[in-house]
Structure 1
Amino acid sequence: MTDSGLKDKVAIRMYRGILGDCFLLRYTEAGVTRHLLIDCGVLQGEKDGKERMARIVDDVHQTTGGVLDLVVVTHEHHDHLSGFLYEQARFLGDDFHIGELWLAWTEDLNDPQAVALHARFNKAKVALAGVVGLCDSVSALNEDARIKTVQGLSAFIEPLADPASKDKRTTIEKLKDKVGSKAIRFLEPGDVVQPAALQTLKAYVMGPPRSEDRLRKNLPSSGAGKEVYMTSLDDAMALEERTLRLKGVAALDVDTPFARPYQRKTLDAQKGTYPNRANDDKADSVEQRYFSHENQWRCIEDEWLDGAETLALKMDSDTNNTSLVLAFELPDGQILLFPGDAQVGNWLSWGDQTYPKDSAPAEPAPLTRDDILARVTLYKVAHHCSHNATARAAGLEKMHDPRLVAMIPVDADVAKGKDWKMPYPDLLSALQERTRQRVVSGDGTPANEIKAFNDSPTDPNHPVSLSYGADDLWVEVSIPY
């Protein structure tokens, strides 16, 4: 497939109107236009999200002719891969041919560290699913601010497999089976790779880190979850135990603080109906001690909600830290940075290795993180421009190229409905300053964005240009090189 308008240009198409990532790159080499799809998803439960995603996949198919030379999935969050799930009949069927699939090392189930990571993630996912499911039967929980946090963050997590379904594979596993092992690459930090179909485009793999300390580093601030690995089995097991007990199901292999003869169910104690009640000394005084109004302040029955909120926050952040981070280098040295939803630990790890990480003395000197960031001319803003997914000193402030453009996959109305500050005002201001207002958003006003690019062109002779799809389904940035 050839697009004559793309000679010496790369086009980066961002799909709009969703809180999710879906980017289609068009790149022409030797007269043939190649297509790279980086993520394809929308937030779980977003109104009309499935319908919007169907239109997006229609456009991807029409643009590419059904041939995707490379598909990249950055990490296992619903808002980055649900398009492959909702439209799996097309992606996994005959509508699309996928030449290659790039994944982070964290998706290699022959890798012991990745396997351990998945086991912990799955344990946390089951525990959080139990909390969300409990809300259906205990309606009062829905009003608790901590539970609202859990419910909101659960929208990013891929749903558990339907118990009634025989197919228990995750979306990524289905994509792997579609592509075949020979066309899958599991990428490591410090790798320098090229798409199989291209000779003049390469990518520096900057994350996710191998270091457990980096993977644990979520926030540069204090708090209950600071630098605590989100997949702590203690957190997950404690949360699962609590939700099972609230459902009236006995949890397994969990110690209780009292021997069985002295255990009493809360509801039975309140009703005075438990067995052997007559054998308890001063039973009435015990019940008074626990259930009287003046002693309510001493009760800790809902403290488990703090654990649920903390676990949800840590799972969200640490999944983000497993994001595959790619810096694509154009023939003239410009860099297109796609960091997924990388958070602090991932960003900081980029300086832990050179690119490539191993090079012979006779080869050109490897690049450093600073070398790469200094040449970034397009930054796909991480995690919908949230407060904790773009490093300042170790990231944005090192992007010195005056041609810098930023793309933000965000729908502020959806985020506002969940009390999320996306885009985060301070970061948005910093991006606007750094790019001289050349920022496009998933919910931006086309006329205003075009004006900003016209008022401050990236180059007087060969500026970056913008175009928009029908009904503003997408915005496309075309970068000359």
Structure 2
Amino acid sequence: MAKTSTASVLKPRPGQIVVRMYRQGLGDCFLIAIGKKRNSKPFYMLIDCGVHRRQDNGNDRLREVMNDLHRSTAGELDIVAATHEHVDHLSGFVLSGTPFLNAKQANRFAIQQLWLGWTEKIGNQQADTLRQKHGTAQRIIQKALEHYDYLHDRGLKDTLNNGKLHLKAAMEFSTFDEIDRDLNFDKVIKELSKAKPDVIRELERDRVIRQGTTGFSGELAAADRTKPSTCEQAINLLRLLASDTSYCEPGQVIPISDEPEVRAYILGPPRDEYLLKKDLPSKVRGEKDEHGHAIYHETYLTPASNLNGFGFSPALHNDETELPQSVRLPFGEKGYDIRTIKDSYYPSQPADSEPSVCPDAPLPERDQTFLENAYLKESWRRIDGDWLGAASSVALNLDSDTNNTSLAFALEIGPPGKGDVLFFVGDAQVGNWMSWYGLEFDVEGTTVTTQDLFKRTRLYKVGHHGSHNATAKRYYHKDETRDNDAPYGLELMDDIIAMIPVSYYAVVKEWPVEWKMPHRPLYERLREKSRLRILRSDCQITPLSNNELDDCRPNSSRASRIPDTSPHRVFEGWTWKRSKSDFNPMQTGETSDPLYYEVIIPPR
């Protein structure tokens, strides 16, 4: 039987820093504890808290994580960084049983400061436009799912089921209808609202913005409005719980601690609209990829994108009078049916001639079958279902667009320009990474560049569970040529510890397809850059073959030296360990399933 958690308050020694990676599965939850020299109370920073629906017993595992988190911090968090609106990063904040929604205020988390990306700032014109388009896309997707059900009821089951599955799969990171939502949510929100009426007014304004009608005519009817998503609810709850909220901008430097020296360099989300909408890596000369990824230029929901075409789909309108007659009934009031097609198939003859074919004669069985299968059963040929394929593209773009708005930052330990760096990128995709190129930070008269931060990185939280498009290795921008193809990102890192919140048992599920996480070429390069020091949320080393060495990770609950074969001894004095307690019950079938891994950084 798995051991139950016996966690006590996490108290690093003065000047010591602990980075804890919780292992609930496919989802992020990182705790950073800083031991203070002059204050007995440590400084605690939480980065995200969620789990994906693909994870078996994910909610139960996440509850164990949050209970341990509450005990380890005594329920007091100095900073909570919520990187972006995806369930695998935010679901824990509104999950049933979460300490963030405890009915007793004394047992509820207290948060001093909330960090969000500028994309969440209500009243910022560019951010408001992004969220408005985000809301419009969500409405399109919801209508598409409802229309699939409508066409299914009309007998088109076989041809539409596959499309619906793919649409739902595209929304896996943003679908919350099966979330185990806390029943205390409304009660706690009402209680917190009394003390922060100004925040409530902002949130009400945000709902109006998200329900905006980009590409449609006028305000939505009340009956057609959607409720806030679970991720919106999580962000709103955090706004109410936190004493203060910071909307982080690229280029900012935020001091975190002066004993030891720790500061955050804010990298993303980007302000550049081209980079906001770029999610896939461009092909670099000489690079090879077993999956054949070449040059991609996807479009998202930035102001440059256009969703107006969906405004002409009758299925997206409750009031038919909103659309012109020619759009609603392109083939006349009677529309097309088999007889209409048959009349075209057997053209009428001149009045003074003997008809060669009787118009009322039944179609040959072969032709009747062809017409029914080709034009009545195939949804992609039907005017009332043609837009559904485009809705799937919207869902995929919405997912990527949200990832690219991730709050990304680097934590530097020590003097500016000289300390070790911990990189936390959320699920930032290629466009976000490209926007960091050329960023310069002025800290106490010292200029620090992003490339310099990469070179001093010692711990990298791998983006988007090791996806192919969430860790840049080369620089590329469509409007620049001077530095294109230059080594960048991971290629500038060396001797690192890589943390990947991925679960083999979750990603191999066919919903309707399995995911390639971590992406094999990226994983192999990470192993080279980390010298096998890879900490995952599972104990599975797939996609490696049986002939390769296992990843290096702590096997004891006692702190042990981190393997360091570098001639520079970059991890001198660093240790790591696994938790004393395992998940209870053990859900993944592993022989050892610790609650977390810890990296302990010594005082400088």
TM bin, normalised by shorter chain, reads: 0.7 to 0.9
Counterpart of 1:51 in 2: which secondary structure?
Answer: helix
C-alpha displacement at 1:317, in angstroms?
0.9
Are 1:228 and 2:299 counterparts? yes
- Structure 2 Cα separation of the partners of residues 392 and 261 of structure 1: 50
C-alpha displacement at 1:423, in angstroms?
1.0
> What's the TM-score once normalised by structure 1's chain length?
0.83
Q: Structure 1 residues 270, 453: CA separation in 2 closer, same or farther (over 3 Å shift)? A: farther
> Structure 1: any 5+ residue segments left out of the alignment?
none
User: 2:144 maps to what in 1?
Assistant: 131
Q: Structure 1 residues 128, 115: CA separation in 2 closer, same or farther (over 3 Å shift)? A: same
Alignment of 1:54-93 (within 5 A): 54-87=63-96, 90-93=99-102
C-alpha displacement at 1:140, in angstroms?
3.8
User: 1:316 maps to what in 2?
Assistant: 399
User: 2:253 maps to what in 1?
Assistant: 192
User: 1:399 maps to what in 2?
Assistant: 493
C-alpha displacement at 1:7, in angstroms?
3.9
C-alpha displacement at 1:289, in angstroms?
9.7
User: 1:15 maps to what in 2?
Assistant: 22
Equivalent of 1:37 in 42, 46, 54: 46
More helix by share: 1
User: 1:465 maps to what in 2?
Assistant: 576
Greater shift, 191-200 or 231-240, is seen at 231-240
User: 1:238 maps to what in 2?
Assistant: 310
Equivalent of 2:451 in 370, 375, 394: 370
User: 1:410 maps to what in 2?
Assistant: 502
User: 2:482 maps to what in 1?
Assistant: none
Counterpart of 1:174 in 2: which secondary structure?
Answer: helix
* 8 A Cα contact 1:338 1:380, kept in partner: yes
User: 2:173 maps to what in 1?
Assistant: 156
Counterpart of 2:299 in 1: which secondary structure?
Answer: coil
> Structure 2: any 5+ residue segments left out of the alignment?
1-7, 182-222, 283-292, 349-358, 475-487, 541-549, 583-593
* 8 A Cα contact 2:277 2:298, kept in partner: yes
Alignment of 1:321-360 (within 5 A): 321-331=404-414, 333-356=419-442
Q: Structure 1 residues 462, 258: CA separation in 2 closer, same or farther (over 3 Å shift)? A: closer
Counterpart of 1:195 in 2: which secondary structure?
Answer: strand
Equivalent of 1:100 in 87, 93, 113: 113
User: 1:263 maps to what in 2?
Assistant: 332
C-alpha displacement at 1:244, in angstroms?
4.2
Are 1:215 and 2:276 counterparts? yes
C-alpha displacement at 1:330, in angstroms?
1.0
User: 1:204 maps to what in 2?
Assistant: 265
C-alpha displacement at 1:440, in angstroms?
0.6
* Residue type at the aligned position of 1:269: D
C-alpha displacement at 1:20, in angstroms?
0.9
Identity %: 32
Q: Structure 1 residues 337, 224: CA separation in 2 closer, same or farther (over 3 Å shift)? A: closer
* 8 A Cα contact 1:3 1:32, kept in partner: no
C-alpha displacement at 1:12, in angstroms?
1.4
C-alpha displacement at 1:414, in angstroms?
0.8
User: 1:117 maps to what in 2?
Assistant: 130
- Structure 2 Cα separation of the partners of residues 461 and 136 of structure 1: 60
C-alpha displacement at 1:61, in angstroms?
0.5
- Structure 2 Cα separation of the partners of residues 104 and 477 of structure 1: 27
- Structure 2 Cα separation of the partners of residues 99 and 141 of structure 1: 53
- Structure 2 Cα separation of the partners of residues 364 and 329 of structure 1: 16
- Structure 1 Cα separation of the partners of residues 15 and 135 of structure 2: 45
C-alpha displacement at 1:191, in angstroms?
0.1
User: 1:380 maps to what in 2?
Assistant: 461
CA distances 1:52-109 after superposition (whole Å, capped 9, x unpaired): 2211111111111101111000011111101112148631452110011011100100
- Structure 1 Cα separation of the partners of residues 321 and 26 of structure 2: 39
Are 1:437 and 2:532 counterparts? yes
Equivalent of 2:239 in 156, 161, 176: 176
Alignment of 1:246-261 (within 5 A): 253-254=322-323, 257-258=326-327, 260=329
Give the paired residue count.
Answer: 459
CA distances 1:129-171 after superposition (whole Å, capped 9, x unpaired): 2333445553546642x54332123121154899999988632
Greater shift, 411-420 or 184-193, is seen at 411-420
Q: What's the Cα RMSD here?
A: 3.8
Greater shift, 224-233 or 146-155, is seen at 224-233
- Structure 1 Cα separation of the partners of residues 386 and 21 of structure 2: 42
Instruction: State which structure, 1 or 2, has the greater radius of gyration over its C-alpha atoms.
Output: 2
Counterpart of 2:447 in 1: which secondary structure?
Answer: coil
